[in-house]
Amino acid sequence: MKNEFQVIADLIEKDKKVLDVGCADGTLMKFLKDNKNINIRGLEISKEKVQECIAKGLTVIEGNAEKDLKQFPDKSFDYVVLSQTLQAFLNPELVLDELLRVGKKAIVTIPNFGYWKVRFHLLFKGTMPITKTLPDEWYNTQNLHMCTIKDFFHFIKSKDIKIFKSLALNNLNKSTINQSNLGVKNLFADLGIFLIEK
């Protein structure tokens, strides 16, 4: 399981009710179910991935977060997880609002467009960056609204969203992001992980 999922799992206490939005093949869901006795549900748009989840014995709903989150009642989950998908929605702000409505807390991770490798790629090669967390070409990427850790940090502050924890991840190194080290983390982390609440 990738390090990002381990960090997410560490943020969630045992026996909670969790919704994994864009749960893909259910790797994180399965880990949470087996290791933390989490009452876990998934929402996934890909039919193939939904089948993989079913084969793992996971409860998953085939659907699109932009349309299908609205069916869940307010604060019906302890945590709602969204891993590296926010930038792929037509309207990320609306999805973020929905995550915070449905979940008492939300865990959102974003691939950092401010990461130094991304900046170097664009600066020296002059082409759209391709990195481990941004593996696709500009013409076939799912990503519509790339942002940096700094962008996201300012964005949630401006929306009066409470930040419980903000973590910078670079390979296996995990560190805390705060107002004073934001510039540095924005340069050296390829992933930001935010535990938030509204």
User: Least separation, in Å, of the C-beta of 56 and another protein?
Assistant: 7
- Alpha-carbon distance of 150 to 177, in angstroms, equals 10
In the three-class reduction of DSSP (H, G, I as helix; E, B as strand; rest coil), residue 50 is classed as helix
Q: Which is nearer to another protein, 63 or 151 (CB)?
A: 63
* Residues sharing a CB contact under 8 Å with residue 95, sequence separation 6 or more, in sequence order: 65, 66, 69, 82, 86, 89
- Using CB under 8 A as the binding rule, whether residue 37 contacts another protein is answered as no
- Alpha-carbon distance of 16 to 36, in angstroms, equals 8
- Using CB under 8 A as the binding rule, whether residue 79 contacts another protein is answered as no
- Using CB under 8 A as the binding rule, whether residue 73 contacts another protein is answered as yes
- Using CB under 8 A as the binding rule, whether residue 16 contacts another protein is answered as no
Interface positions, 40-69, toward another protein (CB under 8 A): 41, 47, 50-51, 54-63
* Residues sharing a CB contact under 8 Å with residue 9, sequence separation 6 or more, in sequence order: 28, 31, 32, 35, 36
Q: Which is nearer to another protein, 76 or 143 (CB)?
A: 76
Structure tokens belonging to residue 101: 């409505």
- Using CB under 8 A as the binding rule, whether residue 36 contacts another protein is answered as no
- Using CB under 8 A as the binding rule, whether residue 123 contacts another protein is answered as no
Name the DSSP class of 85.
-
- Using CB under 8 A as the binding rule, whether residue 72 contacts another protein is answered as yes
Residues that bind another protein (CB under 8 A): 41, 47, 50-51, 54-63, 71-73, 76
